[in-house]
């Protein structure tokens, strides 16, 4: 019966004078010794990263920390405006929008490649790329991880991430496959479709052995930091109230009487 089955977790435990996280003594082995990015690797994988894994994993995470006044940064600032006592909820609001339109494609590109290469000893990457693109086109789905409205003909983050993968011994068949997918998609569509940052992240994360289902987490960990950064700027130089007042006035100007007062909440 369900109730009798013990539910277990390996994440951590503590007593009065000791806290253990992923098998390591927090006070004596982690604080002051393990940097935040390596801690993220420890949390996900259960061991500290090698120096090469550390460089590469940190590189993936910093790539998406900040991209200016994005929709999720605006959501975070609007939320902070209404509830400055809950910085945590303001970051949460910003994370809610990290979906299929803007960052989910790291998950998607890692998924199609990990599923295609699973249990395949000596894959013919070119054939696999062709089949992936054909399948997605048959379903009228776009190919995740390629193409960008602005960063073209190449996304400048991609060659940098692949270069780091090479330098650290993690440039393998996933990195090759995503590029073959992009080339095939360009061939059959006639469009310019470079491997974009999330495609590169999906490929390199796969090289690092990360399950595709956790790949969106790379962006989430990074952007959570970026959203705290936006709140820090909002504290120094508040702009959320101006954004709100302006949008409120503009969006309802055609509705309100000519002599109307300024709007309010």
Residue 251 Cβ vs a copy of itself, minimum distance, rounded to whole Å? 4
Q: Which is nearer to a copy of itself, 20 or 130 (CB)?
A: 20
The neighbour count for residue 148, using CB atoms within 10 Å, is 19
Return the number of the residue (137 or 160) whose C-beta is nearest a copy of itself. 160
Provide, rounded to whole angstroms, the least separation between the CB of residue 175 and a copy of itself: 15
Select 94 or 180, whichever has its Cβ closest to a copy of itself.
94
What DSSP string runs through the chain? -GGGSPP---SEEEETTEEEETTEEIIIIITTTS-HHHHHHHHHHSSPPPHHHHHHHHHHHHHTS--SS-HHHHHHHHHHHH-TT-HHHHHHHHHTT-STTTTTHHHHHHHHHHHHHTT-SS--HHHHHHHHHHHHHHTTPPPTTB--SSS-S--THHHHHHHHHHHTT---HHHHHHHHHHHHHHHHH-S---B-HHHHHHHHHHHTT--GGGHHHHHHHHHHHHHHHHHHHHHHS--HHHHHHHHHHHHHTTTS-TT------
Q: How far is the CB of 170 from a copy of itself (least distance, A)?
A: 12
Report in angstroms how near the CB of residue 2 gets to a copy of itself at its nearest.
Answer: 6
Instruction: Give the residue with the Cβ less far from a copy of itself, 60 or 181.
Output: 60
Residue 80 or 174 with smaller CB distance to a copy of itself? 80
- Residue 144 CB, shortest distance to a copy of itself, in Å, is 13
Between 128 and 194, CB nearer to a copy of itself = 194
Minimum distance between the CB of residue 41 and a copy of itself, rounded to whole angstroms?
A: 10
Q: How far is the CB of 122 from a copy of itself (least distance, A)?
A: 26
Q: In what order do the strands lie in the sheet with 24-25?
A: 12-15, 18-21, 24-25
Contact status, residue 64 vs residue 200, Cβ threshold 8 Å: no
If the CB atoms of residues 124 and 141 are measured against a copy of itself, the closer one turns out to be 141
């Amino acid at each position: 019966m369900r109730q009798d089955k013990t539910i277990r977790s390996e994440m951590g435990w503590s007593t009065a004078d000791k806290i253990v996280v992923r098998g390591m003594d927090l006070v004596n082995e982690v604080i002051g010794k393990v940097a935040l990015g390596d801690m993220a690797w420890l949390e996900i994988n259960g061991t500290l990263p090698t120096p090469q894994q550390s460089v590469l994993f940190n590189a993936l995470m910093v790539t998406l920390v900040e991209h200016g006044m994005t929709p999720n940064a605006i959501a975070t600032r609007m939320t902070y405006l209404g509830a400055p006592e809950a910085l945590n909820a303001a970051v949460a609001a910003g994370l809610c929008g990290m979906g299929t339109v803007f960052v989910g494609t790291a998950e998607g590109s890692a998924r199609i490649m990990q599923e295609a290469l699973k249990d395949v000893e000596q894959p013919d990457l070119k054939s696999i790329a062709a089949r992936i693109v054909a399948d997605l086109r048959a379903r009228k789905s776009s190919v995740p991880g390629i193409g960008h409205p602005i960063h073209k003909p190449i996304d400048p983050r991609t060659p940098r991430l692949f270069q780091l993968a090479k330098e650290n011994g993690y440039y393998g068949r996933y990195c090759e496959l995503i590029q073959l997918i992009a080339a095939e998609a360009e061939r059959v569509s006639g469009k310019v479709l470079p491997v974009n940052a999330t495609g590169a992240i999906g490929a390199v994360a796969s090289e690092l052995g990360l399950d595709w289902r956790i790949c969106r987490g790379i962006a989430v960990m990074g952007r959570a930091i970026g959203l705290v950064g936006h709140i820090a700027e909002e504290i120094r130089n508040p702009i959320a109230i101006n954004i709100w007042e302006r949008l409120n006035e503009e969006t309802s100007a055609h509705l309100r009487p000519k002599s109307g007062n300024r709007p309010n909440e």
